[in-house]
Amino acid sequence: MNSYLTYANDPVLWLLSLPLVAIVGALAISYSTKVKKVSPLVNLTPEDQKKAFRTGAISAIGPALGVFVVMLGLISKIGGPLAWQRLSVIGAAHTELTAAEMAAQAMGTTLDSPDYNLVNYANACWVMALNGCGWLLVVSLLTDKLDSISFKLTKGDTKITSIISISGMCGAMGFLAVSNAITSNENMVAAVVAGISMILLNKLGEKVPALMEFNLGFALIIGMIAGSIFRSLIGRFHMTDKLNIDQEYDAQYTQPVIKLGRILNLLGVLFSFLPALYISIRYSAFPGMANILKGWALIAAIFGSYYIIEPISYFPVLGLPGTFMGFISGNLGNMRVPCSALAQAAVKVEPGTKKAELVSTLGIAGSIITNLIVTVLAAVAGSYIISVLPDSVLAAFDFIAPSIFGSMYAMFAIKDLKSGIFALVLTVIMIKAGLPTFVIVPSAVFATIFFGIKTRKKEEK
């Protein structure tokens, strides 16, 4: 085990990770309780309430198992406590791994380097917390204003947010995939195989939608195995009544939801930094504000626009309570949105109504409880599983970074092939030119966004 992982699995870190995870569960339970209080206003029966919650909880099992698989890989890089905290709230594996990688590069190393040490890990703790807080702060302060913000930013053109999202991620993941792949032949194999696997799995998922939730986990495992096999074979190279109801609904539900969601999300911001503070103080491993801010600047160049774009994009689907719950618990696209939709379908409510909002809240709350149970099991059992795995299997975890970045790049590139190719070529040129990371990352992201927007305008002419 790498020496820094001994400290990363410090028992105290489990305790310090708990408050943030507890907030996620508390928000889900509190919102579910509020739904029960106002349900008579919209004729939502207790039976339908149970059905909505149960549908959300059961529907989340498949995606949560995918989280379990990916979490094992994350534990091997950042330890059990932090992996549990980050995947129970806000983050997805690729987001957190990217933040950790950017924190490492800000200090002149990489996550896979044999020289990666405790101070580098402490910087990763700070950068991951700062990155996650971007979403929490936007959701805490702006959720009830997202409709008007969305219109002002897009000027009615909702497609622009999709272009920015896909193009930006092509640029970011293109850089991360290439920068990891070129470090060795086996990393190259892992990244390429994972990318190809993601493309094939997406094609298969179009025919068997139930498999979509497991694509990243499968692609990650396939890439890791391919890298490990290659290394072992080749060797290492490099109205009035309605008005009264509306007023009562607003007073009993909407306003309390806003108040509670805002308070708990802001508490989440504070609790996010507990592991970073502990590692820095307890082990005298503070990386310095310059390194922390440099790491955050690199990750913000990738995900900064998403702090605003994602809440705006998901708000019409999730609604007010769903947005507060969804962004602090994470896994929006693969878990919260589908569970919300399935709960509404199970209860047969009309989308866009207050009744649908309550049903959606229960469906999302159910999915959160399921996810929390699975991540607890993954964190506890995962650390044990990794500790007893034979060296030949553990060797595959060396390829988690190139595998996950390769598969994530492929996932976004197939949505916009031109932007994907542009990002890859641009990244290779900049890396070969010897440009520093703080130049390559924002250049790759924003140049690809600009390219994506220009390409779309040409196609519309």
Task: Flag the least confident range among 90-94, 201-205, 284-288.
Answer: 90-94
Kindly give, in sequence order, each residue whose CB lies less than 8 Å from that of residue 47, ignoring residues fewer than 6 positions away: none
How far apart are alpha carbons 430 and 439 in whole angstroms?
Answer: 9
Distance between start and end Cα atoms, the chain = 57
Would you tell me the crossing angle of helices 306-329 and 118-142 to the nearest 10 degrees?
A: 90
User: Is the pLDDT assigned to residue 239 strictly greater than 60?
Assistant: no
Calpha distance 215→211 (Å, rounded): 7
Between 170-174, 221-225, 283-287, the lowest mean confidence (pLDDT) is in 170-174
Average pLDDT over residues 237-253: 65
| pLDDT at residue 152, rounded to an integer | 65
pLDDT band at 212 (very low <50, low <70, confident <90, very high): low
Cα 36 to Cα 44: distance, rounded to the nearest angstrom: 9
pLDDT (average), residues 194-210: 84
Q: Average pLDDT for residues 233-248, to the nearest whole number?
A: 59
* Tens of pLDDT, residues 289-333: 999 999 999 888 888 877 887 787 777 677 888 889 988 888 776
pLDDT digits (tens, 9 = 90+) for 334-374: 678 778 888 888 888 887 788 888 998 999 999 999 989 98
Give just the sign of the alpha carbon dihedral 444, 446, 450, 455.
positive
Q: Compute CA distances 157 → 152, 162, 305, 375, whole Å.
A: 10, 10, 17, 38
Q: In 10 A of CB 381, how many CB atoms?
A: 13
* Proportion of the chain above pLDDT 90, given as a percent: 28
Q: Where are the alpha helices (DSSP H) in 254-353?
A: 255-271, 274-282, 289-303, 306-329, 337-347
Is pLDDT larger for residue 217 or for residue 399?
399
> Nearest-5° angle of CA 266, CA 271, CA 274?
150
What are the structural domain ranges in the chain? 3-460
What was the pLDDT predicted at 210? 66
Confidence of residue 157 (pLDDT cuts 50, 70, 90): low
This prediction has a pTM of 0.74
Which residue is it, tokens 């520093």? 436
**Angstrom distance (rounded) from CA 21 to CA 313:** 25
> Is the separation of the CB atoms in 177 and 195 below 8 Å?
yes
pLDDT-derived band of residue 421, with 50, 70 and 90 as boundaries?
very high
C-alpha distances in angstroms, 61 versus 67, 213, 317, 404?
A: 10, 10, 21, 22
Residue 240 has pLDDT above 70, yes or no: no
- Residue 284's SS3 state is coil
Q: Which of 91, 32, 130 is nearest to 358 (CA)?
A: 32
Looking at residue 253, the DSSP 8-state letter turns out to be: I
pLDDT of residue 27: 92
Q: Are 448 and 162 in contact (CB under 8 A)?
A: no
Mean pLDDT throughout 190-216? 82
Q: What angle do CA 60, 61, 66 make, to 5 degrees?
A: 100
Place of tokens 């059961």: 58
Does the pLDDT value for residue 192 go beyond 90? yes
**Residue 88 near residue 397, CB atoms below 8 Å:** no
